[in-house]
Amino acid sequence: MEIKPAKAVIFDMDGVLIDSEKFWKQAESEVFSSLGVKITDEFTQFTQSMTTAEVTEFWYKKYPWDNIALDIVEQQVISRVIELIATEDCTIAGIKKFIEDLKSKQYKIGLATNSPYRIIQTVLDKAEIAHLFDHITSAEFEEHGKPHPAVYCTSAKNLKVDPQHCFVIEDSQSGILAAKNAGMTVIAFTNQNSKIYFDLADHRIISFEDPLPALFS
């Protein structure tokens, strides 16, 4: 189907819709440590931008374990993250009204995440925003995750919006790079931290509780 000019806002998920980075660290530490992996802060920083499958493979190559398949280990991590999201207070302040305001201005709303697809519904239910999204997609279905632009290209295609008419809200360098390489306008979200800057980003939002920025007018 032909992509027609329109306008859309595509959100990253972890760190943008919910404050979940700590849950990933906790789940990975619990699961991989139980298999004999020696988790270090240095390598955790390195794996932060990877997909769950890539993280699992990374640790397996460093500390091979026996008698349990990589895909099963990956699903154990995902299940633990889902449990933590469902039971802990982690919704980003102001996100629901922010998206509602965008919808009132006729923006299409998308979600493009490196996280596995089965986590997405838990996140959207937690934040009570599932009904606000026109399309959701995960890099799980792409050959490469962020910083590769594939997941953003797929999102734009399914929203039927040309990439040049898409805003992306991201909180990581790899995500910003992915969106820029997809030809989109990128807004860095810093979650109350006014000292964070991303040189590649076109704009910055410090808090979703602030009035909708003029660029969305």
Task: Annotate 157-200 with DSSP letters as a single string.
Answer: HHHTB-GGGEEEEE-SHHHHHHHHHTT-EEEEE-TT-TT---TT
pLDDT reported for residue 3: 55
pLDDT reported for residue 17: 98
Give the CA dihedral 38, 39, 41, 43, nearest 10 degrees: 90
pLDDT reported for residue 102: 97
* pTM listed for this prediction: 0.90
14 is catalytic: yes
pLDDT reported for residue 4: 52
pLDDT reported for residue 6: 64
Q: Write down the catalytic residue from 12, 89, 199, 202.
A: 12
pLDDT reported for residue 89: 93
pLDDT reported for residue 44: 81
pLDDT reported for residue 1: 47
pLDDT reported for residue 51: 85
- Alpha-helical regions (H) of 7-116: 21-33, 41-47, 52-62, 70-87, 95-104
Short-list 61, 55, 13, 7, CA closest to 169: 13
Short-list 158, 193, 168, 178, CA closest to 102: 168
Which residues of the chain carry a pLDDT beneath 50?
A: 1
